[in-house]
Every structure is written in C-alpha cells, then in structure tokens.
Chains A and B, each alone.
Chain A
C-alpha cells in the first residue's frame, strides 16, 4: 500500500512563526513589519497546508511521557509489542528489520520525521488503518515532547 502522505507544515515554519511574533513585539518597525509579514505568510502556509503546527518539544519531558504513555508496548532498544525506537527519525515506516509489522505498516512508503510522527501519534488507526497500535496522544504539547525525545534517541 502506498500511503498518500498528507502535506504537512515543517516545524521550522512553526519556529519562524514564533520568532516572527517575538520580533513583532520587541524590535524596530521595519523588523516588526517583516516579522508580521513573515508570520502572516506562515499562517497562510499553515492554512494552505491544512495542518496544525506543533509547539516546540522538550525531550526531557518527552522521556517521562514516553515511559508513561509508550512504555507499555515500546522500548528504545528492544522490540516488544511494538518495534524499538532508537533511530526512528529518518527510518522508513515499517523499517525495523527484526520486527514483524502489520501489513498496514510494512507496505507503507513513508519516512518517519516530525510531521509523520505527529500525524501517527495523533491518530494511528486513521493514518494507517489496520495497524495494531491504537493508542493516540491527543495533547499537542505531549506529542511534541515525545517526538523531541524520539529525535534525541535517533541523533
């Protein structure tokens, strides 16, 4: 199955938007003007891309959340109910060689990054119907923190 990837807004744009807001409130008028313009463009990008923007993630909070919310089924270095997570960033979906995935994931054509992980953690059964993972993380900040932690164990 080829997964039809939703268009997503990279986190860098979110950071640019946040920076724009800060600049608009603290700098001279030309910078503020640019920042407001940049923010507006970013907001338009977000609307056009039909994707909410994640807040900045905190990997330390993410580690605690990972243990509480993901730890029932996942470990960083061991395949358990779900696959191990070390190196997940940049890895193909269904890409851990010694883990037996559901067909929904083994047939997917997608790479895990911040955007795809966000969509996955938001609603795994909607992203890949037929997956064995039902657990979702509904809170934007918690998802961002967990994704930041997963990135920290992938670098």
Chain B
C-alpha cells in the first residue's frame, strides 16, 4: 500500500499529463460549480434588476396609456364639437375605437409585468390640456388630430429602445404603425406636404 501510495505520489510523465487532464477537468468542474455558486449569489441581484426593469417598463407603458387616453378624449371632443362632416364622424369613431383597443393591449402588457395600469383623467382636464376652446373649424380639428397621431407614432417608435422587455418591442412597433396610418389619412385630408427624406418618423 505504501508503495502504491508513493507511486501515486510520483507519477510518470504520461500519468502527469493524465493528471493534468484530470486537474483540468476538475478545474472545469470547479469552475462550473463556482459559476453556479456565483450565479446563486448573484440571483437576488439579478432578480432585483429584473424587477427594476419591469417597473421601468411599466412606467413607460403607462405613459403610453396616458397618451392613448388623451387621443380617445380628443376624438370625443371632435365628435361633440358639431364641426365634423358626416363622413368624418365615421373616421373619428373608428380611430377612437382603435385607441381604446391600444389601451386594452397596453393594460394587458402592464399586468403581465406585474404593474398597475393608470386610468384616464377627467373630461374637463382633457378639454383644458388640449385647449379645445381654440378649435373653431373642421380644419382646426384635423390639424390637432394630425399633430397627436403623428406625435404618437414617433412616441411609440421612441419606446422600442428603452423598453427592456423585448416582447414589448413588437407591440409598440405595431401601435406606432397604427398611429402612422391614422396620421397619413389626416395628411391627405389637409394636403400636408410629405417629406422627401425618409424615415418619415
């Protein structure tokens, strides 16, 4: 036994290589174990960071909700104004329903993130913040609608980068496309010049 122990203690070159391999493998195993241990130690921090990212995403999506609520209110102001010709009433109603659907999608996304979706302000607040008293003609309404829809398209595109949850990127891109489609109809109505330079948003 003693010799055997000694023999094991003084390896041949081949054995040395072999042991190096074993040590290397052991080292790898240790590294893996160490990595797991480190991962275990880092898990709370990672979870906390993930919660922070989710909370930040909720804040951004709630701002989008606020934007949609304002859009819904703007269409209601237009519908109540008596300034819309009959064919425009159908568009205003349709686009308003689009914004309501957007808010439903945003609310679902916020809830999936564990957040709470904000609700709308009062009608009086929207009348004030949109300066509805300045809307005197159908064209005034078209210009307001164009400004809000075009701005909303840009706003949604601007959310793609800061949203940490990549599952949300497609959602906000699709909402941006809806807003751009709305804006395009108002640009046509107003004969608004289309930029020769792209991207348009």
Q: Which residues of A line the B interface, CB within 8 A?
A: 67-73, 75, 78-82, 102, 104, 124-125, 129-136
Which partner residue on chain A sits nearest B69 by CB separation? Answer: A81
Which residues from chain A contact B63 at a C-beta distance below 8 Å?
A: 73, 81-82, 132-134
Q: Mark B14-43, 1 if CB is under 8 A from A, else 0.
A: 000000000000000000000000000000
How near does chain A come to B76, taking the closest CB pair, in angstroms? 16
* Count of chain B residues near A, Cβ 8 A: 26
Contact in complex: A102, B59 (CB < 8 Å):
yes
Which residues from chain A contact B59 at a C-beta distance below 8 Å?
A: 102, 104, 130-132
Is B174 on the interface with A (CB-CB < 8 A)?
no
How near does chain A come to B53, taking the closest CB pair, in angstroms? 9
Q: Is the interface of B mostly helix, strand, loop or mixed?
A: helix
Contact in complex: B158, A134 (CB < 8 Å):
yes
Q: Mark B147-158, 1 if CB is under 8 A from A, else 0.
A: 110111011001
Which residues from chain B contact A71 at a C-beta distance below 8 Å?
A: 147-148, 151
Which partner residue on chain B sits nearest A84 by CB separation? Answer: B129
Contact in complex: B161, A81 (CB < 8 Å):
no
Is B180 on the interface with A (CB-CB < 8 A)?
no
Q: Given A81-B67, A125-B56, decide whether A72 and B128 contact each other with a Cβ distance below 8 A.
A: no
Contact in complex: A132, B129 (CB < 8 Å):
no
Q: How far is the CA of A73 from the CA of B68 in the complex (A)?
A: 10
The B120-155 residues at the A interface (CB cut-off 8 A) are 128-131, 147-148, 150-152, 154-155
Which residues from chain A contact B66 at a C-beta distance below 8 Å?
A: 81, 132
List 17 additional contacts besides A71-B151, A75-B131; criterion CB under 8 Å: A69-B151, A72-B67, A72-B148, A72-B150, A72-B152, A72-B155, A102-B59, A104-B59, A124-B162, A125-B60, A129-B52, A132-B59, A132-B62, A134-B161, A134-B163, A135-B155, A136-B162
